[in-house]
Amino acid sequence: MGKVIVTAAVSLDGFMAFEDDTVGPLFDWYGNGDVAGTLGDPDRVFHTTAASADYLREVAGRVRACVVGRRLFDLTNGWGGVPPAGEHVVVVTHEPPTDWPFPDAPFTFVPEGVAAAVEQARTYGGDVSVTAGDIGGQALAAGVVDEVHLNLVPVLLGSGRPFFAANGAGSHLLENPRVIEGDRVVHLIYPVR
């Protein structure tokens, strides 16, 4: 069975976006190199350094499903019906959309909560990528997370959307990280104890 990974780009002070949900310089590393790659969608090509490209290939190559919250789904318009990574998206929501223009897209809407969404995502095989923030914190609190991946960007945002939301993931001890140094980003992979 694959791993469940909570992941996002994050500032040194722990934020993955500004209060208005813009990411500012947090995604600059996706375009600061000469190695082309994707996370799954062939129309979303990144150009990173070799170290970051190797990390993304390794991680994205194993991901079959993403678990996201309704907020991110709405902000991205469900990525136009194309999963951002893997082949499936499981959206945690109490109110599945009734008028989404991509009814045949490989998206599943789960109202029963994060643990049920992760269980659904696991049925697709491979690794499951869980977005950080509220959903990632809930997944960690539910005990369904195997690794936490911080794509740490050398910037201080001052405030914004925290990597683990205020509802908190509780107290968890992580193992020592595997460290991959990119350009303007350090990829930290923490196994969860």
The pLDDT of residue 133: 92
- CA dist 108 → 6, 31, 42, 78, 97 (Å): 19, 30, 21, 11, 11
What pLDDT, in 10s, does the model give residues 160-181? 999 987 555 667 889 999 999 9
The pLDDT of residue 1: 81
Q: Domain of 35: which CATH number?
A: 3.40.430.10
> Nearest 5°: CA angle at 31, between 52 and 160?
90
What pLDDT, in 10s, does the model give residues 45-58? 999 999 999 999 99
Can you give the residue range of the structural domain that contains 40?
A: 4-191
Number of domains in the chain: 1
Q: Please, what is the average pLDDT of the chain?
A: 94
The pLDDT of residue 169: 60
The pLDDT of residue 94: 93
Residues of the chain with pLDDT under 50: none
CA 141 to chain centre: 17
Query: Are 60 and 83 contacting, i.e. CB atoms less than 8 angstroms apart?
Result: no
Token pair, residue 28, equals: 């600059």
